[in-house]
Chain A
Amino acid sequence: MKRRTLLAGAAMALGLATTAMADDKTKVGFVYVGPVGDGGWTYEHDQGRKAVVEHFGDKVETTYVENVPEGADAERVITQMALQGADLIFTTSFGYMDPTINVAKKFPKVKFEHATGYKQADNVSVYSARFYEGRAVQGTIAGHMTKSNTIGYIASFPIPEVIRGINSAYIHAKKVNPDVQFKIVWAYTWFDPAKEADAAKVLIEQGADVILQHTDSTAPQAAAKAAGNVITFGQASDMSEFAPMPRVSSIIDDWAPYYVARTQAVMDGTWESVNTWHGIKEGMVGIGEISSAVPENVKAEALAMKAALGDGSYHAFTGPLKKQDGSDWLADGETADDGTLAGMNFYVEGIEGEIPQ
């Protein structure tokens, strides 16, 4: 992807060259996988960056580079940021995991924060949100709302974060509607509006009347709207432009408090490498307003689920649960531990198809 390289390089030069860096300011860099105007994942990270600017004013200086491909290009962009004097760098996609670790080794004084990964180091924190809690609420609504009993799922890459979401949505859809079936399409991209829209259309043509997405743009929402009589959920951002139909609710990622707190820690000299995994309770996962297209009783059930997940009285992965191959996973009443969830690489019983290896 030469284009991406060039784009990243140029954006880099523009983004960093235009800011004359005064030395007393804390410099915070952000690396984004899509454009800030994707209306979803990257948009929300950038909202977090803006919150940092607003909170600290002149004391902070932020830079960002968008459309950075996962892999070797990311390593170069992160290195460049560190060389330009960043004190703290947020790398906001799973595929930046190894690049972040590699660059962090070369810049022991720079602090790094990697989103959704699992590799930590002395100067690398990891943070993520318990999106699967939001998926449980989604699954509940989806299971009630589907008339064709077919729910389409646009997956991105076969990584634990995505698989957790599929499992959680499936478990809770199945709970309220035993006839429900999932059709899963792997798009192999985080951001490609045309491909995301194509995937949504294919799923709708094959009988799905609910579309869940784990990709970053609003394209599946638009495709569902054009098809009519299909419901969707906002992903990463509220996507309320598509409410009340097709978008009936959403999972909203709220990174702002975390970004502000971590920037503060760097300023105070109290920054330490941590592993943060926050959910509905801490507010990192928000549930967007459930629209008027959802019947009152379903809405009430979904909100009760949200409340139970929020106060800790219910865990989204509570036994009895079996794996797809029929082997036992969780006994009755047992809940999944974070370690298993973090590395989840199996479907639960009932989901058809294989996870691409």
Chain B
Amino acid sequence: MDLSAINPVVLLASILVSATPILLAATGELVVERAGVLNLGVEGMMVTGAVTGFAGAVLTGSPALGFLIAALGGAALSLLFAFLTQVMLANQVASGLALTLFGVGFAALLGKGYIGETPPQFPLWKFTVRAADGDVPAAIATLDLIVPLTIAIVASVWAVLKFTRAGLVLRAVGENHEAAHALGYKVVRIRTLAILFGGAMAGLGGAYISMIRVPTYTENVTAGAGWIALALVVFGSWKPGRVMLGAWLFGGVTMLQLNLQGTGVSIPVQYLAMSPYIITILVLVIMSNQRNTAPGSLGKSFHAAG
């Protein structure tokens, strides 16, 4: 085993990249759940964002426009969920699962013509890292603009939820929608906005996978990332900072285990392969076991007359 093959700066950059899609989607879902809505359609919205963003970027030639279209695509799909659960008062769990099934199929249909294409490249920030001995070419760590942008979004979500009136109202709606309604807040409208935000964020996360992390489109390109994002929200006990830590931890262990395999570490590979899931769950369970912090009205339908 030769650990010198792993360059720490390159590893760090790859961890940030690998955590970004689930972090985007999880932050969106966090806002949705803090408003008292459980949307299990994250995977469907992510894969829709992955294809709409990809197609948008290819058609317009602009990755920035692609991301914008991805956000719109994810939000448009979530509008369907909002209609079902907020207007028709359908069961949220069933509607969310249906949204994922629909999203996966819909995305496959939209993406028929784009399989295997290469998207226009996003401007990358490249750091050249000099390797220890002279003969090896310098390792290059690459980061893109979306990574710091994502961290900024997480910080803003945290600040808005904690310090602003809008955040307080959103949390009130999530904790006890009847009380919030009695105070005159528009529960359905606030929840619909939260759902749209969640959809847009999931769309961005999906587009990050198809446009930057992979970067190509294949059917079902997100391959389950939406479910990891959902789990992160719960294990991060509905707190943006913890969700971010969880995403980095998951990304970190994923990349570390691949790197260790590359250097031929003699730990059984199966354990390495499952370690991201186990370690992330363990750490987040330990972090969140003080008290149950789920929003009080999570998953319950609200009807003004009821």
Binding site for B on A (CB under 8 A): 1, 3, 6-7, 10, 34-39, 67, 152, 158, 183-189, 191-195, 197-199, 201-203, 205-207, 217-219, 221-223, 225-226, 239, 241-242, 352-354, 356-357
A198/B269 contact (C-beta < 8 A), A37-B115, A193-B221 known = no
Number of A-B residue pairs with CB-CB distance less than 8 Å in the complex they form: 133
Tell me the bound Cα distance from A191 to B225 in angstroms. 13
Q: Given B115, B214, B225, which contacts A223 in the complex, CB threshold below 8 Å?
A: B214
Q: Please determine whether B262 and A203 come into contact, CB atoms closer than 8 angstroms.
A: yes
Please give the distance in Å from A182's CB to the nearest CB on chain B. Answer: 10
Q: Please determine whether A222 and B216 come into contact, CB atoms closer than 8 angstroms.
A: yes
Q: Given A1, A187, A241, A353, which contacts B264 in the complex, CB threshold below 8 Å?
A: A353
Query: Chain B residue with minimal CB distance to A220?
Result: B214
Write out the residue numbers on chain A whose beta carbons fall within 8 Å of the beta carbon of B5: 206-207
Tell me the bound Cα distance from A349 to B227 in angstroms. 42
Counting CB contacts under 8 A, is B59 at the interface? no
Chain B residues 207 to 237 lying within 8 A of chain A, measured CB to CB, are 209, 213-216, 218-225, 227
A39/B223 contact (C-beta < 8 A), A222-B215, A356-B270 known = no
Binding site for A on B (CB under 8 A): 5-7, 10, 14, 18, 21, 43, 97, 100-101, 104, 108, 111-112, 115-118, 121, 136, 139, 209, 213-216, 218-225, 227, 254-255, 258-259, 261-264, 266, 268-270, 273
Tell me the bound Cα distance from A188 to B136 in angstroms. 30
Tell me the bound Cα distance from A26 to B150 in angstroms. 53
Q: Please determine whether B219 and A38 come into contact, CB atoms closer than 8 angstroms.
A: yes
Tell me the bound Cα distance from A221 to B224 in angstroms. 21
Query: Chain B residue with minimal CB distance to A189?
Result: B223
Q: Given A184, A191, A222, which contacts B223 in the complex, CB threshold below 8 Å?
A: A191
Please give the distance in Å from B38's CB to the nearest CB on chain A. Answer: 15
Q: Please determine whether B216 and A356 come into contact, CB atoms closer than 8 angstroms.
A: no
Please give the distance in Å from A187's CB to the nearest CB on chain B. Answer: 8
A241/B220 contact (C-beta < 8 A), A3-B43, A188-B273 known = no
A185/B258 contact (C-beta < 8 A), A37-B112, A194-B225, A225-B118 known = yes
Q: Given A6, A205, A221, A356, which contacts B269 in the complex, CB threshold below 8 Å?
A: A356
Write out the residue numbers on chain B whose beta carbons fall within 8 Å of the beta carbon of A192: 223-224
Residue from A188, A201, A352 with most neighbouring chain B CB atoms (10 Å): A201
Q: Please determine whether A205 and B7 come into contact, CB atoms closer than 8 angstroms.
A: yes
Query: Chain B residue with minimal CB distance to A186?
Result: B269
Please give the distance in Å from B14's CB to the nearest CB on chain A. Answer: 6
Give 16 CB contacts A-B under 8 Å.
A6-B100, A36-B219, A37-B220, A39-B218, A183-B262, A194-B18, A195-B223, A197-B213, A198-B254, A201-B14, A202-B14, A205-B14, A217-B221, A219-B221, A222-B214, A356-B269
Write out the residue numbers on chain B whose beta carbons fall within 8 Å of the beta carbon of A185: 258, 261-262
Write out the residue numbers on chain A whose beta carbons fall within 8 Å of the beta carbon of B209: 193-194
Write out the residue numbers on chain B whose beta carbons fall within 8 Å of the beta carbon of A39: 115-116, 218
Write out the residue numbers on chain A whose beta carbons fall within 8 Å of the beta carbon of B263: 206
Please give the distance in Å from A235's CB to the nearest CB on chain B. Answer: 12
Q: Please determine whether B10 and A205 come into contact, CB atoms closer than 8 angstroms.
A: yes
Residue from A197, A207, A242, A357 with most neighbouring chain B CB atoms (10 Å): A197
Tell me the bound Cα distance from A38 to B220 in angstroms. 8
Q: Please determine whether B222 and A194 come into contact, CB atoms closer than 8 angstroms.
A: yes
Q: Please determine whether A202 and B255 come into contact, CB atoms closer than 8 angstroms.
A: yes
Write out the residue numbers on chain B whose beta carbons fall within 8 Å of the beta carbon of A218: 115-116, 216, 218
Please give the distance in Å from A325's CB to the nearest CB on chain B. Answer: 15
A202/B218 contact (C-beta < 8 A), A3-B227, A6-B101, A356-B268 known = no
Please give the distance in Å from A40's CB to the nearest CB on chain B. Answer: 8
Tell me the bound Cα distance from A38 to B219 in angstroms. 6
A193/B266 contact (C-beta < 8 A), A37-B115, A225-B118 known = no
A219/B262 contact (C-beta < 8 A), A35-B108, A37-B112, A37-B115 known = no
Q: Given B10, B21, B101, which contacts A10 in the complex, CB threshold below 8 Å?
A: B101
Residue from A34, A152, A193 with most neighbouring chain B CB atoms (10 Å): A193
Write out the residue numbers on chain B whose beta carbons fall within 8 Å of the beta carbon of A241: 116-118
Residue from A222, A223, A225 with most neighbouring chain B CB atoms (10 Å): A222
Tell me the bound Cα distance from A184 to B221 in angstroms. 23
Q: Please determine whether A193 and B262 come into contact, CB atoms closer than 8 angstroms.
A: no
Tell me the bound Cα distance from A131 to B21 in angstroms. 35
Query: Chain B residue with minimal CB distance to A4?
Result: B224
Tell me the bound Cα distance from A125 to B111 in angstroms. 35
Tell me the bound Cα distance from A222 to B97 in angstroms. 31
Write out the residue numbers on chain B whose beta carbons fall within 8 Å of the beta carbon of A186: 261, 269, 273
Tell me the bound Cα distance from A205 to B215 in angstroms. 17
Tell me the bound Cα distance from A35 to B43 in angstroms. 15
Write out the residue numbers on chain B whose beta carbons fall within 8 Å of the beta carbon of A222: 118, 214-216
Write out the residue numbers on chain A whose beta carbons fall within 8 Å of the beta carbon of B218: 35, 37-39, 193, 217-219
Query: Chain B residue with minimal CB distance to A158?
Result: B269
Write out the residue numbers on chain A whose beta carbons fall within 8 Å of the beta carbon of B222: 194
Tell me the bound Cα distance from A258 to B220 in angstroms. 28
Residue from A194, A195, A241, A353 with most neighbouring chain B CB atoms (10 Å): A194
Residue from B10, B104, B254, B262 with most neighbouring chain A CB atoms (10 Å): B262
Q: Please determine whether B270 and A188 come into contact, CB atoms closer than 8 angstroms.
A: yes
Please give the distance in Å from B70's CB to the nearest CB on chain A. Answer: 16
Tell me the bound Cα distance from A352 to B262 in angstroms. 11
Write out the residue numbers on chain A whose beta carbons fall within 8 Å of the beta carbon of B220: 34-35, 37-38, 67, 191
Q: Please determine whether A198 and B255 come into contact, CB atoms closer than 8 angstroms.
A: yes
Please give the distance in Å from A75's CB to the nearest CB on chain B. Answer: 21
Write out the residue numbers on chain A whose beta carbons fall within 8 Å of the beta carbon of B43: 3
Please give the distance in Å from B43's CB to the nearest CB on chain A. Answer: 7
